[in-house]
Amino acid sequence: MARFDAVLFDAGGVLVLPDPTVLGPLLVYFGGDPSIDAHRRAHYAAMKAKSDADAAETSWDHYNEAYVR
């Protein structure tokens, strides 16, 4: 039997979020806010949009569109 050193459970993007230090500079070119707080808020707003749309787990269009608003 395989042995695990650690197991991480992320309840729907609550603990692990997209890295704003990676996304920030990419979105600044398009007028985005590079601040960590802006990306944290964007993530949760996008997760709500995905949930409100009752989008399938494999569909991230609603999330992506809401994140960059």
**If we measure between CA atoms, which residue out of 25, 13, 19, 8 comes closest to residue 63?**
13
pLDDT of residue 8: 80
- 10 Å CB burial of residue 38 (0-12, 13-18, 19+) is middle
What's the full length of the chain, in residues? 69
Q: Tokens in use for 67?
A: 């994140």
pLDDT for res 24: 92
Q: What's the confidence (pLDDT) of residue 14?
A: 77
First to last CA, the chain: 47
- pLDDT score, position 45: 96
Query: pLDDT (tens digit, 0 to 9) for every residue of the chain, 69 residues total?
Result: 678 888 888 776 777 888 999 999 999 999 999 999 999 999 999 999 999 999 998 999 999 999 998
